[in-house]
Amino acid sequence: MYKRLVIKVGTNVLTRADGRLDVTSISGLVDQIAALKQRGVELVLVSSGAVGAGRELLPERPDDGAVAQRQMYSAIGQVRLMELYRQLFAGHRLLCAQVLATKGDFRDDLHYDNMLNCFRALLVDEIVPVVNENDVVAVTELMFTDNDELAGLVARMLKADALVILSSVEGLYDGPPDGADSRLISFVDPADRDSDRVVQARKSSGGRGGMATKLRIARETAAAGIPVLIGNGRRPGILHQLVKGGWPGTVVGGAGNSQRP
């Protein structure tokens, strides 16, 4: 049984086809996270969706692709997203907390130690940290590739037992996920590079990264002894499989790490 998990949820799990927040999907994930908490699992949630939440509140602008526009959407969307998480977790008598980070926070020793101490305190008090990139202040050299990279860094910082990455597909495929001949890759040995040639680099419609990015982050995380489980966040009860066993997606191998910071 896992004792400490980092769970990353992608934009396409949290939003509908029109880009608005999918409250039903988010509520279902919170229910599953609460069930894990009841089993005594320490858990950190890395959540996308702030920019989508911002677009829900503010009409589209002509320069929607501009950096300043994305920053504005993120700034107002974080409030909407966190309020939704607060309400949903409160329904399970749980508190959540917002943690915003840039890549620079993992490079600076003082920032790193301060963030680690914050995570420690939140987990001791059984509060669910909800982590996202600080889009408002991040510039190009301090931006993560996407939240998969952020989740991998958090998992290594906390020496998690596993990193779970939830997207809108079942896992890694040896071709396009919607291709008739494509097959799910159920296990990837971090030392085996063959999967690099077949995993698609195509990005999802709502995120910055893609499956190739997920595989790279998963390899780096698994190399630190932390297995990575990639799965479909829209599959009903996906997180319950962490208790039942038999992960329905892709596992990128790793022995796990029972140490604690």
Domain membership of residue 248 (yes or no) is yes
In a domain, 260, yes or no: no
Does residue 195 have a known ligand-binding role?
no
**Is pLDDT above 50 for 255?**
no
Q: Is 117 annotated as a binding residue?
A: no
Q: Is residue 202 part of a domain?
A: yes
In a domain, 261, yes or no: no
pLDDT band at 78; cut points 50, 70, 90: very high
Tokens of 149: 């990279």
* 108 assigned binding-site residue: no
| pLDDT at res. 81 | 95
pTM as predicted: 0.89
Containing H/E element for 110? helix 109-124
Cα angle value 148/49/214 (rounded, 5°): 20
Question: CA neighbours within 13 Å on the CB side: how many for 191?
Answer: 2
Where is mean pLDDT largest: 74-78, 134-138, 146-150, 153-157?
153-157
Distances 87 to 29, 55, 95, 174, 192 between C-alpha atoms, Å: 13, 21, 9, 40, 43
pLDDT in tens, 125-150: 999 999 998 877 765 555 677 899 99
Window from 53-57, 148-152, 182-186, 215-219 with minimum mean pLDDT: 53-57
Question: The domain spanning residue 104 has which CATH number?
Answer: 3.40.1160.10
Instruction: Report percent pLDDT > 90 for the chain.
Output: 59
Section 196-217 average pLDDT: 65
Tokens of 125: 């008090």
Which range (84-88, 181-185, 204-208, 231-235) has the least confidence? Answer: 204-208
The residue range of the domain holding 21 is: 4-252
Tell me how many domains the chain contains. 1
Distance CA 211, CA 230 (A): 10
**What Rg value do the Cα atoms of the chain yield, rounded?**
17
The answer as to whether 257 is a domain residue is: no
Query: Is position 8 annotated in a ligand binding site?
Result: yes
Residue 137 is predicted with a pLDDT of: 72
* pLDDT, average across residues 249-259: 65
